[in-house]
Structure 1
Amino acid sequence: MNLQQELERAAAERQLWSEGDRIVAAVSGGPDSMALLHMLSSLMKVGKLSVSVAHVNHGFRVEESKRELAVVRDYAAQLGVPFEAITLDMPAYIEETRMNGQAASRERRYAFLYEAASRFGATRIALAHHADDQAETVLMRLLRGTGLTGLAGMVSKRREKNVELIRPMLRMNKSDIVRYCDEHDIPYCMDSSNDKRTYFRNQIRLDILPYLTQFNPQLPQSLQRLADVAGAEDEWIEQQTASLFSQIVTVSEGEYAVSCADLRGFHVALQRRLIKLILRYLSTGTENISFEQVETMRLAAAEHAPSTWRMDAGAGVRCVREYDSLRFVQASQQSHGRAADEYSFEVNETASDIDSVSGWSFQFDRIRSIDSRKPASRYEACFDLAQLAYPLTLRNRRPGDRIQVLGLNGSKKVQDMFVDEKLAPSERQLYPLLFDAAGRLLWIPGIRRSAHALTVRDTQDVLFIRATRS
């Protein structure tokens, strides 16, 4: 099978494009991208694709870069393929931004490719990465430390910025590509920077891979197979993680929460993947979070781990354990409303309903006899109206608040009541308390009522209150 046939087979197998698609080919002028351009233009000539060329001159190697631009422009014209180029002053940009040179170049290069795709009306951008590039990538990540996703190397297609990045040459070897160029009289340029050992990838290609190949002559092919296997398994685990996410994760604005018990019930691999998926949803800045950080968050959900705990995961995300709940919160969301200012609502004798008390609503009814309605849960309470001092007040906790607990001698701190009830720390500051005008704490809805204003069989005027959490 020649490379043209291999390209078409790979495209069909991995569904890289459909007949009639518009594709922008990223062409640097090297043998890989020039061969890709030739193969894609062959499909264009028989009406299967619409192809355009985008070329970036980064401005590092002034004379070489000019020659590369000219070679790509002239060959695109020879093939009848629309051409667009940009010349950048990357040395000046790097000095201005203090960014890593390779990262900055990638950022500007891809920005131009996205713009070119938009102007050409293309849905896909074709990149010329090949099997040798894949082997280098896997080995680089292995040496730096990586998981299954890193071992998958570069994927054959990935959606980004409303276009799909495709790599139809990932299983083609460099030597076969150069031979293809020679056989078809395809011009190309050699990048002199590829021989400089200042770049880690060049050290991998020039020194480390040749050295390791002494022990396994098929090492590049082995690394390519590893990427294929890891990629397929990584994709399967991602699908399982997405399914798990929909089953056990509760989503609210700027926050994702999962039961610690639910999380522990799944395989450790899915636990780690789920945490990474949640972090990725909250912030793209968490993509490079370390294994140790993910493991710390996973172990925070362990059965014997502290019931309340928190850590900053970076990129503005905080992980918080509150009893059985493991919450992942954007730091801005955590500070907005969670550490609430004091609030207070006055309840006069004629009040019937109060809504929006920190996510609670209250219904006040006056009844003539305790026998006509009795509390059915801790979210309902009855008080002897004759013993209440109006106006009543609904407010959140203040330092030193105490309640005269029914059935106990003396009083107890509200904070201690919250701890006993395992109320999440993030809820305590917002939780509503009911006081009378004398400052007596009458009721902590859903938790405990006080010993004050108790009703008896012959109580005539009763205040019945029902609390509802939204």
Structure 2
Amino acid sequence: MDEWVRRLLAFKDEHGLWREGDCIVAAVSGGPDSMVMLHLLHTVSDTERLQLVAAHVDHGFRGQESANESTLVRTFAAKLGVPFESVTLDMPSYIEATGMNSQQASRMKRYEFLHAVAARHGASHIALAHHADDQAETVLMRLLRGTGTGGLAGIPVKRRDKNVELIRPLLRINKAELAAYADLHSIPYAIDSSNEKRDYWRNELRLDVLPYLEQHNPQLSSSLNRLAEIASAEDQWMQDETRRAFDRLAARSLGSFCELQRADLASLPLALQRRLIKLILNYLSMETAGLTPGDKADFERIEAIRHAALATSPTTWQTDAGGGIRFYREYDRLRWWIGEPHSRKSSWPPYAYTIEAMDDVLDVPEGGLSFRLTNAVTAADERGRYGADFDADQLLFPLTVRNRRPGDRMSVVGLNGTKKVQDMFVDLKIPPSERDRMPLLVDAAGQVLWIPGARRSAIALTDAGTTNVLRIQAVPSTTNIE
């Protein structure tokens, strides 16, 4: 068996690049790398029972040179008996009209075409001809720009993109080996003249930076590829650990919010804390899908959030987390929202519900609670934080359930005088986002009698002589508003 074919199949088995009978769209530019890839895939297509389609994109940048490359690929595909599809784009006009970066725009349109070809042929894979030298360039470029371990993993061997898998079967073969293979098998190819121009940083890095560094380490490309392999495996393990922590600890709603307990985040190892924050940002917004803890701006944003969760940090804090996301720390609760949470939009509007009878059920959807009122002869020994007994004969009716108003105060049991409800919320660590929605029970004089789940007042306390007890139990509302 040909040595290159053996290496290709071993790489395929190691990474599960395809299965027998799969249809693969091969992206072929006409350069030596992609032409060799097409030839190799065709060589194994019978034994692997592969269906191949060659797909070529002329971006319209280089006139006749680009047209010649299209003809070259078409002719070579026909010689191999591989179906061929191509498209000619006017990228200069598209870039002028959209103002997009030329490389980003070209990549976007190229992938649109490849996906369309895959859909027409029922292909499960798109093969791309990135090789070991490309990997070395990518890792070095990310190192120079600043990256985390995820960036050091470089170009992935395979990844899911929409409904197909992008695979890179040449990622462990260097360019010199591919050129030798092309010469051995008389494979025609074109040299893209733009690859020799230093207009793009990648070209400058390939033409100048790498050769200079290789004077100090002739095996630099191999070292960078080895680093990518190590980082890729370790990064995958960290991703899996982060996903498990996310599933275990995070309450969330896709495209809306995510919430953690401060202690849960703080209990994780430092590396996992950063990863989990990154995952939450990615979960909420596609704009942040490229976040890596190594990118300076994103690293600083992630660190600001992580530091906000420390016990020594302010207990209430908020910041712009990027991508349309805002982060809030509210005591021991950490929350990420797309946009502005409902409860922060200039607070909840005032609401008030009057209690009509001693035996009644009053639903307060804004506060997330329903109030069940019953008349009893004696007070209960144990009511819990969401239950309260009052001496009905000492109450000023009618009673009202409403949210807070400026100046609200409560006469607290065991405290001389009154205390501001706002100060009580702070003492009780009620999150600011919840304060304007919390229901308060008040009497006809506007005195605050009870804050369910928090405190009751010293007004209308029951004792052994009480014979007319108003018992109120607060339970979750069936029409809770979020």
TM-score by length of 2: 0.93
User: Aligned pair in 2 of structure 1 residues 335, 369: CA closer, same or farther (>3 Å)?
Assistant: closer
Q: Which residue of 2 aligns with 1:408?
A: 415
Q: Which residue of 1 aligns with 2:259?
A: 257
Q: Indicate the larger mover: 231-240 or 453-462.
A: 453-462
Deviation at 1:392, TM superposition (A): 2.1
Q: Percent identity?
A: 54
Q: Indicate the larger mover: 186-195 or 334-343.
A: 334-343
Does the CA-based 8 Å contact 2:343-2:434 persist in structure 1?
no
**Within-5 A mapping of 1:210-249:** 210-249=211-250
Summarize deviations over 1:18-45 as a string: whole Å, max 9, x none.
Answer: 1111111111111111111111112223
Counterpart residue type for residue 277 of structure 1: L
Q: Which residue of 2 aligns with 1:165?
A: 166
Counterpart residue type for residue 310 of structure 1: Q
Q: Match of 2:118, SS?
A: helix
User: Aligned pair in 2 of structure 1 residues 277, 266: CA closer, same or farther (>3 Å)?
Assistant: same
Q: Indicate the larger mover: 419-428 or 239-248.
A: 239-248
Q: Which residue of 1 aligns with 2:9?
A: 8
Deviation at 1:453, TM superposition (A): 2.0
Q: Which residue of 2 aligns with 1:330?
A: 338
Deviation at 1:335, TM superposition (A): 6.2
Q: Which residue of 1 aligns with 2:294?
A: none
Deviation at 1:202, TM superposition (A): 0.2
Q: Match of 1:365, SS?
A: strand
Summarize deviations over 1:127-182 as a string: whole Å, max 9, x none.
Answer: 00000000000000000000100010001010111111111110001011111112
Does the CA-based 8 Å contact 2:439-2:452 persist in structure 1?
yes
User: Aligned pair in 2 of structure 1 residues 166, 308: CA closer, same or farther (>3 Å)?
Assistant: same
Q: Indicate the larger mover: 354-363 or 28-37.
A: 354-363
Q: Match of 1:51, SS?
A: strand
Is 1:74 aligned to 2:75, yes or no?
yes
Is 1:444 aligned to 2:445, yes or no?
no
Q: Which residue of 2 aligns with 1:298?
A: 306
Is 1:348 aligned to 2:356, yes or no?
yes
Output the CA distance in 2 between the equivalents of 1:77 and 1:266: 57
Instruction: Give the one of 282, 285, 292 matched to 2:284.
Output: 282
Instruction: Give the one of 366, 369, 373 matched to 2:378.
Output: 369
The count of residues paired between Structure 1 and Structure 2 equals: 468
Instruction: Give the one of 454, 457, 460 matched to 1:453.
Output: 460
Counterpart residue type for residue 237 of structure 1: M
Does the CA-based 8 Å contact 2:285-2:323 persist in structure 1?
yes
Counterpart residue type for residue 362 of structure 1: F
Is 1:464 aligned to 2:468, yes or no?
no
Counterpart residue type for residue 299 of structure 1: H
Q: Which residue of 1 aligns with 2:57?
A: 56
Question: RMSD over aligned Cα, in angstroms?
Answer: 1.7
Q: Which residue of 1 aligns with 2:208?
A: 207
User: Aligned pair in 2 of structure 1 residues 64, 351: CA closer, same or farther (>3 Å)?
Assistant: farther
Q: Which residue of 2 aligns with 1:174?
A: 175
Q: Which residue of 2 aligns with 1:390?
A: 397
Q: Match of 2:259, SS?
A: strand
Q: Indicate the larger mover: 39-48 or 82-91.
A: 39-48
Deviation at 1:407, TM superposition (A): 2.3
Output the CA distance in 2 between the equivalents of 1:19 and 1:221: 31
Counterpart residue type for residue 5 of structure 1: R
Q: Indicate the larger mover: 61-70 or 331-340.
A: 331-340
Output the CA distance in 2 between the equivalents of 1:363 and 1:334: 27
Output the CA distance in 1 between the equivalents of 2:362 and 2:285: 37
Output the CA distance in 2 between the equivalents of 1:391 and 1:115: 69
Output the CA distance in 2 between the equivalents of 1:154 and 1:275: 23
Counterpart residue type for residue 222 of structure 1: S
Output the CA distance in 2 between the equivalents of 1:195 and 1:210: 14
Q: Match of 1:106, SS?
A: helix
Deviation at 1:124, TM superposition (A): 0.9
Output the CA distance in 1 between the equivalents of 2:114 and 2:366: 52
Does the CA-based 8 Å contact 2:152-2:232 persist in structure 1?
yes
Is 1:272 aligned to 2:274, yes or no?
yes
Output the CA distance in 2 between the equivalents of 1:54 and 1:351: 76
Does the CA-based 8 Å contact 1:348-1:390 persist in structure 2?
no
Does the CA-based 8 Å contact 1:352-1:365 persist in structure 2?
yes
Summarize deviations over 1:39-59 as a string: whole Å, max 9, x none.
Answer: 111222345211112211111
Structure 1 residues not aligned, in runs of 5+: none
Deviation at 1:351, TM superposition (A): 5.2
Does the CA-based 8 Å contact 2:26-2:55 persist in structure 1?
yes
Deviation at 1:438, TM superposition (A): 2.4
Q: Indicate the larger mover: 416-425 or 374-383.
A: 374-383
User: Aligned pair in 2 of structure 1 residues 74, 214: CA closer, same or farther (>3 Å)?
Assistant: same
**Within-5 A mapping of 1:27-176:** 27-46=28-47, 48-176=49-177
Output the CA distance in 1 between the equivalents of 2:370 and 2:59: 62
Q: Match of 1:186, SS?
A: coil
Deviation at 1:354, TM superposition (A): 2.8
Does the CA-based 8 Å contact 2:398-2:444 persist in structure 1?
yes
Q: Match of 1:369, SS?
A: coil
Output the CA distance in 1 between the equivalents of 2:117 and 2:342: 40
